[in-house]
């Protein structure tokens, strides 16, 4: 499901920006 992938991508982006 593309939407689930997108949701994951934003979560990963937010994670990576919190713990670079």
Partner 1 sequence: IGNVTPFYTPAKQVWLPAARGKGLEISGTFTRRNGQIYMEMTFSNKAMQAMTSFAIQFNKNSFGLSPAQSLQVQGPLQPNGSVDSSLPINTKGPVQKMEPLTNLQVAIKNNVDVFYFSCLVPLHVLCMEDGMMDKRVFLATWKDIPAQNEVQYTIENVNYTADQVSSKLQNNNIFTIAKRNVEGQDMLYQSLKLTNGIWVLAELKIQPGNINLILSLKSRAMEVASGVHQTFELILHN
Name the residues that contact partner 1, by CB under 8 A.
2, 6-7, 9-11, 13-15, 17-18
Q: At closest approach, how far in Å is the CB of 12 from partner 1?
A: 9
Backbone φ and ψ of 17, nearest 5°: -80, -20
Q: At closest approach, how far in Å is the CB of 2 from partner 1?
A: 8
Q: At closest approach, how far in Å is the CB of 9 from partner 1?
A: 5
Interior angle at CA 2, CA 9 and CA 14, nearest 5? 10
């Amino acid at each position: 499901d593309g939407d689930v992938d997108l949701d994951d991508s934003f979560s990963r982006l937010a994670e990576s920006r919190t713990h670079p």
